[in-house]
Structure 1
């Protein structure tokens, strides 16, 4: 019997799927992220650079040659405006030293910013100490609902407000209640812990003052602010730490929806920050340089009974 050759059949399985592509996508993604970072860096530089430098750079790239051009500012080199520069462009000079400011002025601004930051941290520490005292001190805890403490653009503000059952002053009078004096004497010890000066302002509600003929809420609020000053001095506050004492009557109500609310009758004490002191000093210098003119009212004369009020009051500014 002869052997019969059988055909050999090879079955190959068809592979499905894309298989492994390696890490090429990672390289592409990294390039994309790098490009986006470069894009945002360019946008930031464009947004912060002065216009004259932008014009110079734009014209520089329009004509990057050694031939004199017509750029709005000189290129950083010896080939004239619009030509190729031979030294790096100082792109960050305007950040360290603003236009028109020399190196010394830029350094002074950095130092001033550091002092302002330290000043704010000092006031925030004082705020925490006062809030802790209000919560635990036998002298202040009973009045925690009448002591309002916050940070304003002028500094740390402490407001002592009236309530329906516990006024700070005798009715229609600048005479302090005994417990109000106790609060102010206690606060004085905290104000002496910082070098900042303070400003005191008195406030009334909109009920007309019916005291001595010719007097109004302006006089009453000023007298109450001065009474608070005397109590603080009695508590040991150094007289040189006082910046201003003013009366604002009912012009800056705490409750604007109900100007007859007892909470509008209050004493506001602001521990002034460095920026507020500088602003007041600049105004004082400007007033001194101009001098009083004939017929012109002196600061504070616009409000009958108010003492000189230099600079904006923290009570007229929103809290932060």
Structure 2
């Protein structure tokens, strides 16, 4: 047996291959992006309304303008020039740009309105009697201009209930705002709003329509008494309870409010001279009107002719 060959058992060693840790890189990228997202959300939540508008203005600027400079309102977002029947003349692009510049405030207008808001708030905060009304003021930059809303509350109503008598603190607030509004060249409108509580007589007699208009007109008188140039007023209107505040019930006291709207110049021009759209519906031509009247009058003529024949036969 000494010459027998030894039995050799070969055992294959299994080695687990290393994947290089690529999943760690993917996880790190994901965590970095998530941290950046939460950081942006935190910054936006802590930013003021003016800072948010500035950020929105920055991201709305086309890249070509940001890199090369120039007028952002004249830049096109389209890779195809023009868009009208003649791409070289850019007729379609011109129409689109005109619409955008009319519905979007310029940086200068935005700065003027932000300065007006700041100065109004400073005047109110400096007066102990008016400071309690700070929470009833709301400023919004909308498509037509700067909207200043004075809201009513149960504790601090602006008018006597159901009347246009301005209460003393509301009068002082309007008169304090008048000189600041007078410094801007922009024209403005005054609108009155009410809640849905109706008068006993309903809408047949004195109603919320008359009340909203009279409250707006009473506010106009207080502004003029405070130094506002009467020529700056372009419109005084009342909307009754037809335009409630968002996310409020129709009878909510917040719907009793006065709205001052400082117009953009182009909006004021459109209010003064409304634009006539091409292809408007016109009145029928005299010929077609006569034809229509003749067709509608045929049964009447036939009826009259029948009466005349009956009278002659008798």
TM range, normalised to the smaller chain? 0.5 to 0.7
Deviations 1:263-291 (A, max 9, x none): 110100011112321332441x649xx9x
Which residues of structure 2 form unaligned runs of 5+? 1-75, 284-314
- CA–CA distance in structure 1, aligned partners of residues 101 and 240 of structure 2: 39
Deviations 1:5-31 (A, max 9, x none): xxxxxxxxxxxxxxxxxxxxxxxxxxx
Q: Does 1:178 align with 2:168?
A: yes
Task: State the SS of the aligned residue for 1:47.
Answer: coil
Residue aligning to 1:308: none
When residues 278 and 116 of structure 1 are mapped into structure 2, their CA distance, relative to the original with a 3 A threshold, is: farther
- CA–CA distance in structure 2, aligned partners of residues 278 and 215 of structure 1: 33
- CA–CA distance in structure 2, aligned partners of residues 51 and 182 of structure 1: 54
- CA–CA distance in structure 1, aligned partners of residues 243 and 160 of structure 2: 21
Deviation at 1:240?
Answer: 0.3
8 A contact 1:146–1:160 mirrored in 2: yes
Task: State the SS of the aligned residue for 2:91.
Answer: coil
Deviation at 1:226?
Answer: 0.3
Residue aligning to 2:144: 154
- CA–CA distance in structure 1, aligned partners of residues 212 and 77 of structure 2: 52
Structure number having the greater helix percentage? 2
**TM-score, structure 2 length as denominator?**
0.56
Residue aligning to 2:116: 126
Q: Does 1:136 align with 2:126?
A: yes
Q: Does 1:165 align with 2:148?
A: no
Which residues of structure 1 form unaligned runs of 5+? 1-43, 54-72, 74-92, 294-320
Residue aligning to 1:50: 82
In the TM superposition, 1:1-320 aligns within 5 A as 47-50=79-82, 98-99=90-91, 116-210=106-200, 214-283=205-274, 286=276
Aligned length: 206
8 A contact 2:188–2:233 mirrored in 1: yes
- CA–CA distance in structure 1, aligned partners of residues 158 and 207 of structure 2: 19
Report the more deviating stretch, 113-122 or 273-282.
Answer: 113-122
8 A contact 1:204–1:217 mirrored in 2: yes
8 A contact 2:84–2:92 mirrored in 1: no
Deviations 1:120-162 (A, max 9, x none): 3212221222233333333531211111122111111111111
Task: State the SS of the aligned residue for 1:192.
Answer: helix
- CA–CA distance in structure 2, aligned partners of residues 220 and 172 of structure 1: 7
Residue aligning to 2:312: none
Aligned CA RMSD, in angstroms, stands at: 3.9
- CA–CA distance in structure 2, aligned partners of residues 52 and 125 of structure 1: 40
- CA–CA distance in structure 2, aligned partners of residues 167 and 111 of structure 1: 39
